Structure 1
């Protein structure tokens, strides 16, 4: 009999719930590209559909990156470090580097990957603010969401960025030199433990269970979709030119053919294939009907709700909250996608 790899894993559960109830810390450096030059803002405006020029120094912005067909090929966080210097945080620096190179044209910009120059530690959860505040030289009390600042921790120069991939209202990322990583951990670990939290060591907790509960996507969830299908079109700047604009305007005018919906499966021990493991994902059928209406994109376990949860990429308007469906013979129900909002 198949056993749920999440439900019965006490380590995953304890690390996940530490973030939700107190705080958790972990080491996970995303890949970083630093880009600068006289045309850097105009170049980024063309590369990404969300507005970049309005981003103030010291602030961040989440945006997708599209191909000419209007499909998402990456989602990134852009950080404005100074007037003409930006960091772009991605999981696909090599692909981004190639994409920028082939679309640079006459833009006067230069970039380099700086991933090896930085180590990033996340501190996430309700007590993360008091933990980080207890460590930093300069107060983070007024640091807004998606904003960053320079300071020190125990004499170690660092950058503090308020944000994260867990869905928590309070969460911070600490950037330090890799040479200072061990020294930072020696201060960070006991501070988190003192507050009742713990280190998060399970990658599936960092990348799957925590983000999915909060309706955050991993790039594999987005592959082959457009922003309208996955609810990421609200920040697009339609007044500018950007790669994929013409195709996306057509989707805007005609309507998206698909949509990402949430679902739950009450039965604990299930075997349902999802796109996160590779392949197309399990087909989805409306209860009592033979028409395939979608495919399972993500399936994890919600430790907050104690139920299997996930996303279905479905035909538009075929599935609605409350609908009963069958997935690989298991009873499921369509739900909202955020499982920690209430």
Structure 2
């Protein structure tokens, strides 16, 4: 019989719940593309659905990159470090660079993969601000969400970004040169004890269980969808030109054909295929008819229940409906789950 790889693993549980109850920290460097030049803002503004040119220096924005069909081909965070200098945080820097190369239009801009120049340590959870303040030479109390600022830790230059991939109201990302990474880890361990902070070592926790509880996506969840189908239409700048705008306007007028919904499965030891395994995901049946596919499936330590996402025909399911997924009973619920 299949056994839930999360529910009975006390190490996973302790690391997950540290982030929810005190603080958890971990090393996880996203890939970074540095974009510079006098036309950098205008170029990025055309590449992404949400506006970039109006970002203030020191602020971040989450946005999707679309193809001409308005399908999401990457979701990124854009950070404006200087007037003409940006970071694009992605998991697919080679694909991003190739797309930029193919869609340059004479703009005076340059971009470079700077991933190897930076290590990133995430510090997440209710006591993350206390821990970061115990580390940094300048307190971060006044730093706003989705903002990045220069700081230092016992003289080591760092950049502190307030944000994260866990859904916690308080969370920070420490960017530091790789040469100083070991020193930062040592200080996190040393200072973290006072705040009951725990190092998160399990990739499934930092990348799957924590983000899914918060309703966050991976690119694998978003493949072949458009922003209206997955709830990412908020903040799109319709008063400007961007790749995919014409197709997306038609979707806005006609309405999306599908929608991303949450669901739970109460039975503990179930095995359900989702897009994370590389296929289309198990079919979701309502009254014996397929109405969608499973995009994501994992376990919520906070709710003590299996949770996931379904990409379903628009309007066919509502909260409280029961569906059959791989022979198991699923219940449609709100997303996020916490």
- Work out whether the TM-score is over 0.5: yes
Supply the distance in 2 between the matched residues of 1:139 and 1:272 (Cα, whole angstroms): 45
State the partner residue of 1:314: 312
- In the TM superposition, what is the alpha-carbon distance from 1:190 to its structure 2 partner? 2.0
**Correspondence for 1:214:** 214
Instruction: Give the CA deviation at 1:110.
Output: 0.5
Question: Is 1:339 aligned to 2:337, yes or no?
Answer: yes
SS at match of 1:259: strand
State the shift of 1:196 in Å.
0.7
> How far is 1:144 from its partner?
0.2
Aligned-pair distance for 1:52? 1.1
The one-character-per-residue Cα deviations of 1:9-41 (angstroms, maximum 9, x if unpaired) are: 111111000000000000000000111111111
Distance 1:22 1:38 in 2: 43
Q: Hey, what's the Cα distance between the residues in 1 that align with 2:183 and 2:53? A: 37
Q: TM-score, normalised by structure 2?
A: 0.99
Using the TM superposition, give the Cα deviation of residue 290 of structure 1 relative to its aligned residue in structure 2, in angstroms.
2.0
Give matches, 1:1-342, under 5 Å.
Answer: 1-286=1-286, 289-340=287-338
- Distance in 1 (CA, whole Å) between partners of 2:118 and 2:305 is 37
SS at match of 1:229: helix
Cα shift at 1:332? 1.0
1:208-238 CA deviation, whole Å, 9 max, x = no partner? 1000000110110001100000000011000
Distance in 1, Cα, partners of 2:126 & 2:107: 43
1:286-319 CA-to-partner distances (Å, cap 9, x unmatched) read 1xx2210000000000000000000000000011
Q: String of CA shifts for 1:256-289, please: whole Å, max 9, x gaps.
A: 0000000000000111111111111000011xx2
CA–CA distance in structure 2, aligned partners of residues 298 and 244 of structure 1: 26
Deviation at 1:80, TM superposition (A): 0.4
SS at structure 2 position matched to 1:79: strand
Give the whole-Å Cα distance in 1 for the aligned partners of 2:94 and 2:271. 34
RMSD of aligned C-alpha atoms?
Answer: 0.7
How far, CA to CA, are the matches of 1:328 and 1:122 in structure 2?
36
Partner secondary structure for residue 185 of structure 2: helix
Q: Distance in 1 between matches of 2:237 and 2:137?
A: 38
Deviates more, 1:270-279 or 1:25-34: 270-279
Provide the rounded CA distance (Å) in 2 between the counterparts of 1:67 and 1:321.
Answer: 32
Structure 2: gaps spanning 5 or more residues: none
Moved more, 30-39 or 187-196: 187-196
Number of residue-to-residue matches in the alignment: 338
Give the distance between the partners of 1:52 and 1:272, measured in 2 at CA.
38
CA displacement at 1:194 relative to structure 2: 2.1
Q: Secondary structure at the match of 1:189?
A: helix
